[in-house]
Structures are given as C-alpha cells and as structure tokens.
Chains A and B, each alone.
Chain A
Amino acid sequence: MASRPSRVLALVTSAVLVAAACGPNAAPATTGAGPSSGPPATAASSAPPVQSFHVPDFEAAALRWYCCLGTGEDPAQKPTEDQVAADFATKYPGSTLKLEITTYDSAVDVLSTQIGANPPDIAGPVGIGGLASFKGQWTDLTPYLTQSGYDLGVYDPATVEFFKQDGAQIGVPFDLYPSMLWYKRDAFDEANLEEPPHEFEAKYTMADGSEVDWNYDTLREVAMKLTVDKNGKDATEAGFDPKSIEQWGFEPQRDVLAGMGAFWGAGTLVGSDGKTVEIPEPWKDAWKFVYDGVWKDHFIMTEAQFLDPKVANNDQAFNSGKVAMGENFLWITYGVAGAGSDWDLAAIPSHNGTVTAPLNADTFAILKNSKHQDAAFAAMAYLLQDRSDDLLPLYGGMPARSEEQDAFLDQLAQTEDFPEDVDWQVAKDAIEYADIPNFEAPMPVYNKSLKILETYRSRWMTTPGLDLDQQIEALRAELQAAWDAG
C-alpha cells in the first residue's frame, strides 16, 4: 500500500506532468546519454518541486558548481552538498554536477582566475554582494524564467528586486537572512533593565518606568549600563575600568562599513549619476556612533578585543557570550549557542524615526561564460526547487518563499541548543524593514571599494583620537579616486 507522502508525490508529479505537457515548450521525456529534459522526472531523494515550471530541453553536460561566495564551505555541509550534486545525474541521466569548494576568504580571487577561460557553470549560494563582485558576469535568467513558466509571484517582490543587475534578473531568491537585535535576557536581569521591545517601532521602558522611543540614543544609554568591568562597575559609573571589561553592552554588525551603516538607514554610496560617491547621512551617523562607542563610551569592543581568541576570536561577538546586545543577521545561528542559554530576539532600534533591518539573501546563479547555459539553468532550478528541503536547513537561511517561512521558524524554535522561548517572529517581521537599496548592491569597482571600506573600518576600530568627519571625507575622496580611475 502506498504511503500518504508517496501518494502526494504521485499527485504532484502528475500535476507537473500535465502542466509540462500543456506548456508551450513541452518536451518529450528522454533518458540515456542524449539530451536531458526537465520535469516530469523527479529528484532521486527529495521532495518534489514546490513550484510548477518546466525546465526546457538541454544537451547533457558535465556541470561545475562553484561554492562558496557565501556559506557552504563547512566540512559538515559537504556530505549533503555532495549528495545533492550526485543526485543531479540521477534526475538528468547523462549530465553530472560536480561541487567545487573554495573557502569564502579566497572565493572571489579564485573565481576571478577561472571566470575568463575556465568558468564554472553555476555558483552558489551567493549573496547580493557576491553577485556584485562579478557584475556583468551572470546570465540574465529572464528568457529561461519566461520559457519555463517559473513563478516569481511566491516571493516578496522586494527580494526578487535584490537579484536584478542593470535590469537583468540574475537570480531567483532562495534564502533570506533578516537582521535583528540579539540580546541576553540574563544581562538585562542583572542590570535591572527592561528587555528591548520585540515589536518593531514599539517603545522601550526605562528603569524609571518612563517610555521612550527605541532608538540608538536609548540603545546607547542601555548599552553603557550593560557594559561591566571586572569589578562589577558599569560604563556609567565612576571608577569604571575600560581595560578590564568583562561584558560589552553592544556589538554592531562590523563586517563591512556599508552593512554597519545600513542598520541606521538604507542607502547606497552611488550618487544619482552612477559615478559620484555620496555617503548616506545615516551611515555617517552610524560610524560616528560606533566610533564613540568603542573609544569614548567603551560599550563596543575595540578591534583588538574583537580579534582576541579569549574574547570574540574574530567571530560574531554576540556568540562569545560576552556581549549583551548585538545587531546581526539570522546566519549567526550557526554559533549563537555560544551566547549562553538565555538569549532572545528584539527589534532593531530606529534612527531619525525610521527602522531599518538590513537583509542578506542568497541564490544560485549561472555564469555568463558557462558553455552549458541550458543545462546550468536546469541545475539552478534543481538546487533552488528540488533540493531546497536539503539545502535550506543546511545553510540556515529562511526560505525566500513566503509560505514556507513559518514552518522554518517552527523548526528553528525546536533547535536543541537554543532557548525554548525565543521570539522567532521578530525574524519574520524584520523582513518588512529590509534595506532598500540593499547595502551590498553593486557600485563601481566593487571589490576595490570593499577593500577601501575595509581599510577605513579597521583603522577606526584600532585607532583612538581620530576626527571622524575628516576620516569620512578622506574615505569619500579615496573611493571617488578609485571610481574615477575605474
């Protein structure tokens, strides 16, 4: 007797068959080493595609899957990735998909050496920034999406827009990593402070009972009280020793200056003419806030403390358990158990009355230089659809398909190492406050601009006594010179 899942599978497969047969580009199913065709075939060991679409015929090909411009390099992830790649040959006899892993740190450099003469066929998971690193090198999927009847309506339109470059749709949303304020409830309890609001744009109740806006001024006040030295004094008390801090009040997202700034307000460095550097005012405010937080008020780690193996060890600082509040993306779940057993999620504070919760998002994309474009589209659809049940949990991302998000968050809530009552709804709510334009969006000489931003970020985090206005102007001038030389 067929089990219920098998019957569902059979029904869905039949529906897909009918849809495929009635489609304008219906192709006969073929087997063997000849041309491969898309569904009706189903993946060897996975759930059926959740969207109806038809992969056009393609010549059998040996495809290369380039990883990891985003996540994916963890040895624990590799067996599943290998299995997913191997199963591609089962679904499309005659074709193969070979996973090639390059660590994230060198992924851009290595792909640069391959992209001209020896390009892989598909890359991913890759975020908006990874795509921007190779602007103009990705296949416009629009013809394939049209031909296959690929339904983009199941995604939040904003996330679809994220994967456009110069009008070309170069990716389909796969997973999302919204950003939230991660905080340690026990730290707030010890300081006799109210926990930050879980609802975006809600008020915060101060220790004296007054209700104030949950903005960065409030956060600063709270963060200083949560910053504690080894003698138990907080950063607002006389005799506080900034050289012996045991708990920091706040950690910004410090990976890139643009990302740090985006929590204060969405923006882009690219002026309206496309070639002039214009630093968004909220980003300037963010950088000054963070700089003062590090060197004047001491509620944010210096770079030395951040890199210290006994403090944050160059990882996400909140995960060290030594930070009371940290702004970060959903992907820090990989190590958030290190924060202890009593943490929760809260809303990002507002700045000038606006809340912005930057978003990371990943996809799989096809290299324009790939010699197997049609087959690469089949592989892309296979990874995004057929194997999303395997890959989404593997990469820890929230499904981009809106209707799957609740189930994902339910699953996350049951994670063994996490507190039982984490308010995961905050993660879902954060998507509404995503930064548009995204902070990783393309800009001229993208990779060089990132390096310039990195140099300034590092300088500010390691050097006290700087005039930040001068520094920001120097940064603007250096970026402009790089763009002009472009």
Chain B
Amino acid sequence: MDQLPAIATTPITAPGRWRIGSLRLTPLARREARQGYLFISPWIVGFLAFTALPMIATLAFTFLNLTLTQEDPVRFVGLDNYARLAGDSRVWASLAVTLKFAAIWLPVSIVVPFVLALALNSRFLLGSSIMRTLLFMPYVVPFVAGALIWNGVLGQEGWINTALRFLGWSDPPAWLLDTTFVYPGLALISIWGVGAGVIVNLAGLRGIPTELYEAARMDGAGWWAQLRHVTIPMMSPILFYTLILGVIEVLQYFLVPLVLKNGTGEPGGTTLFYNLNLYQTFFTFQEWSYGATMAWLLFGIALATTLVLFRLSRRYVYYAGER
C-alpha cells in the first residue's frame, strides 16, 4: 500500500485552530504542496495583480487628490474625500435608489427561483426537463440583449401592457418611464435571469432526504406543513446562499440602467444607482480619488451587510451536516 500523504505528524488539537508552528510535512506532502501552489499560481498572480493590488491602490487613492486629468500636483489630503462623501447628497440619493430597488428585488430574487424550483420538482408537472431548459435558457442570453428586449416588452405598447389592457386595465403604467413603476419594471427585467437560481434551488430540493417527507406525512403533515417544517428548513442554506449573492448583486446593480437609460438616471433620478454614480464619478467626472472613496464605501456596506447576515444565519439557517 502506498504511503499516505501525511499532512501533519502532530495532530491539530483544537478544532478550527491551526498551530502553524507545529505543522510538519513529510517530503511527499511538501512536494505535493509545491505542485499544488504551482497549479494555482496563475490564479494567485491574477488575484494579486487584478484584485488585491488594485484594491490596495484604491485605498491609497482615497487619501490623495488624484484625477484623470490631474492639473494640480498630487498631494495627501487626509480624510477630505471621506468628509466630502458624508456631505454629498448625490451619493446618498444614489444609495437610497439602490436600497429602494433592493427592497423590491431581494424578496423577488429569493422567492421566485424557489417557487419555480418547487414547481419543477413537483411530480405532477409534465415535461419538467423541458421546462427546466426553458427556464434556464434566458440565463445564457447576453444580459444587454435581454435588457433591450425587455425595454420593448415593458413599453407602452409592449406585451405586458397589451396583456394588462386585455385584462381590463385601460391605462397601464409606463413601466420604465414612470417614477412609481420603474423599480417593479426593473425587477421584472431581472427575473429574466433567475434561471441559474432555479437550478441551484432545484438541486437543493432534490437533495432533501425523502425519509423526512415520509416521516412528516406519517405525522399527518399536509403539503403546507411539509413545506414549512421540512422543505424550507432543509433549503435554508440554499436560500441563504441566494440571499448573499442577491445582496452583492443588487449593490453592484449597474448594467440595466446604463443600457436602458444611458446612465441619465431617468426618470427623475430613480435609476441613478450607486454603482452608476460611482462609474460616472470615475470616468465622466474624472475624479479618481473620490471615486475610489465611493468604491470603498460600497465595499464597507457589502462587507457589513454580509457579516450581519452571516451572524443572523446562525439562528435561521439549518445545516444538516453541521456538528
């Protein structure tokens, strides 16, 4: 029998704590580690060159007065950019826009894929594999093309309003042109891309042991009780994963308003999302340092939100394999 690649000759005593000083590798393990690092080195180089170093650079920028055209000499400005951020109504307005859209989109982005996955997982659904393919197909359509198609679908004479008129709504909303309906309109466009979320949810549903449902049925649980007491708790890690991705996605929301509104913020500033404002600050307004400061604010918000969600997840997310 081949010698097993012993990772550590000294056992790690406390779970979750590594005693690096006592880690001793066998020659074989060291060779394998070297090969492993060699294999992942392209990624590490890419990470350092295109993520870590630019992040560090942008952090440094926040304390300088850099602009793209740089007429004044570069100088250290301390926390001036952060102070300016605090008093910039455009920044907070764009953040409010992002949060308003998040309030509509996040529930939709979690519930819709879950419900669709439930439907696809139903034994009563005929042609589920075809439906699965159909639901996933929009995900592979380039999002810009999808957004432009939806711009027509949600137009005054588009399919949605034609259907609403057919149903008796004589004066349906101008979805993407009306300050009241623009967020529901954008949420409808985003639903176009939920195919991947459906597949993830479906995989999660198929992974729930059938014994749990059998036991629930023996206890007299109906469809609703099974959903509430078996499916949702067992799916909670998937729903949590969807939530985290959704939060990050919504904080980065940019492409659709840029494509549909050309970054104008129309109608009435309701599509001036934070990321769009950030992009304009960098390139249109040519303010590197201030743009970098805005980027770090976004990073801080994303990090804080994620940490809070992870903290809360201890109470609401059930990991069956957790010890």
CB atoms of B283 and A112 under 8 A apart: yes
- Is A304 a contact partner of B69 (Cβ separation < 8 A)? no
Q: Is the CB of A478 within 8 A of B285?
A: no
A115 touches B69 (CB 8 A): yes
B3 to chain A, nearest CB (A): 56
Q: Which residues A434-485 have CB closer than 8 A to chain B? A: 445, 447-448, 451-452, 454-455, 458-463, 478, 481-482, 485
| Contact residues, B275-318 vs A (CB, 8 A) | 280, 283-286
Nearest CB of A to B305, in Å: 26
Bound: A231/B84 CA distance, A: 55
List of B residues within 8 angstroms of A485 by Cβ: 84, 87-88
User: Which B residues are in CB contact (< 8 Å) with A478?
Assistant: 89-90
- On chain A, the residues within 8 Å of B283 by CB distance are 108-109, 112-113
Query: Using an 8 Å CB-CB cutoff, how does the interface string of A72-116 with B read, 1 for contact, 0 for none?
Result: 000000000000000000000000000000000100110011011
A448 touches B89 (CB 8 A): no
Q: A447-B284, A463-B179, A485-B88 are in contact. Are A304 and B70 (CB under 8 A)?
A: no
A157 within 8 A of B: no
Report which of A109, A115, A482 forms a contact with B284, defined as CB distance below 8 A. Answer: A109
Q: Which residues of A contact B71 (CB under 8 A)?
A: 136
A183–B171 Cα distance when bound, in Å, is 31
Q: Shortest Cβ distance from B267 into chain A, in angstroms?
A: 4
- Say which residue of A304, A481, A482 sits within 8 Å of B177 (CB atoms): A304
Contacts of A463 in B (CB 8 A): 179, 268
Q: Which of A202-210, A306-314, A371-379 contacts the other chain?
A: A306-314
Nearest CB on B from A418, distance (A): 30
State the Cβ distance, A200 to closest chain B Cβ, in Å.
Answer: 33
In the complex, the chain B residue whose C-beta lies closest to that of A452 is: B90
CB distance from B280 to the nearest CB of A (A): 6
Q: B residues within 8 A CB of A482?
A: 90
Q: Which of A137, A309, A310, A458 contacts B69 (CB 8 A)?
A: A137
Within residues 196 to 224 of chain B, which ones have a CB less than 8 A from any CB in chain A? none
Interface pair A134/B87, CB less than 8 Å apart:
no
A229 is an interface residue with CB less than 8 A from chain B = no
Q: Contact between A308 and B269 (Cβ–Cβ < 8 Å)? A: no
Complex contacts, A4 vs chain B, CB 8 Å:
none
Chain B residue at minimal CB-CB distance from A460: B268
A459: B residues at CB distance < 8 A = 179, 267-269
Enumerate chain A residues within 8 angstroms of B90, measured Cβ to Cβ: 452, 478, 482
Question: Chain B contacts of A137 at CB under 8 A?
Answer: 69
List residues of A (300-357) whose CB comes within 8 Å of B's CBs: 303-304, 307-310
> Judging by beta carbons under 8 Å apart, are B265 and A454 in contact?
yes
Q: How many angstroms from the CA of A47 to the CA of B93 in the assembled complex?
A: 55
Which of the residues B68, B157, B171 comes within 8 Å of A243, measured between beta carbons? Answer: B171
Nearest opposing residue in chain B for A451, CB measure: B280
Q: Residue B272 at the A interface, CB < 8 A? A: yes
Contacts of A116 in B (CB 8 A): 68-70
List chain A residues, Cβ under 8 A from B285. 445, 447-448, 451
Q: Count of chain A residues with Cβ under 8 Å from any Cβ of B? A: 34
Which residues of A lie under 8 Å from residue B268 when comparing CB positions?
455, 458-463
A228 to nearest B CB, angstroms? 20
- Contact A112 B177, beta carbon cutoff 8 Å: no
Query: Which residues 12-53 in A have Cβ within 8 Å of B in the complex?
Result: none
- In the assembled complex, the Cα of A267 lies from the Cα of B58 at a distance in Å of 39
CB closest chain-B residue, reference A243: B171
- A462 and B178 in contact, given A105-B262, A116-B69, A455-B268 (Cβ under 8 angstroms): yes
Interface pair B284/A308, CB less than 8 Å apart = no
- Which residues from A are CB-within-8-Å of B68? 112-113, 115-116
Contacting residues, chain A, for B156 (C-beta < 8 A) = 304, 308-310
Contact residues, B246-271 vs A (CB, 8 A): 262, 264-269
Chain A residues with Cβ under 8 A from B269's Cβ?
455, 458-459
Q: Is the CB of A108 within 8 A of B264?
A: no
B88, B155, B267: the one contacting A462 at CB < 8 Å is B267
Closest chain-A Cβ to B73's Cβ sits at a distance in Å of 14
* B contact residues around A458 at 8 Å (CB): 264-269
A459 to B174, CA, bound (A): 15
> What's the least CB distance linking B208 to chain A, in Å?
47
Name the B residues within 8 Å of A105 (CB-CB): 262
**A308 nearest CB neighbor, chain B only:** B156
Report how far A455 CA is from B178 CA in the complex, Å. Answer: 14
Contact present for B284 and A134 (CB under 8 Å) = no
Complex contact A462–B266 (CB within 8 A): yes
Closest 7 CB pairs of A and B: A459-B268, A462-B267, A304-B177, A109-B283, A455-B269, A304-B174, A458-B266
Q: Given known contacts A136-B69, A304-B177, A447-B284, what 10 new A-B pairs fall within 8 Å (CB)?
A: A105-B262, A112-B68, A112-B286, A447-B286, A455-B272, A458-B267, A459-B179, A463-B179, A485-B84, A485-B87
Q: Can you list 28 A-B pairs, Cβ within 8 angstroms, ordered by A?
A: A109-B284, A112-B69, A112-B283, A112-B286, A116-B70, A137-B69, A243-B171, A304-B177, A307-B266, A308-B155, A308-B177, A309-B156, A310-B156, A447-B286, A448-B285, A451-B284, A451-B285, A454-B265, A455-B265, A455-B269, A455-B272, A459-B268, A459-B269, A460-B268, A462-B178, A462-B267, A478-B89, A481-B89
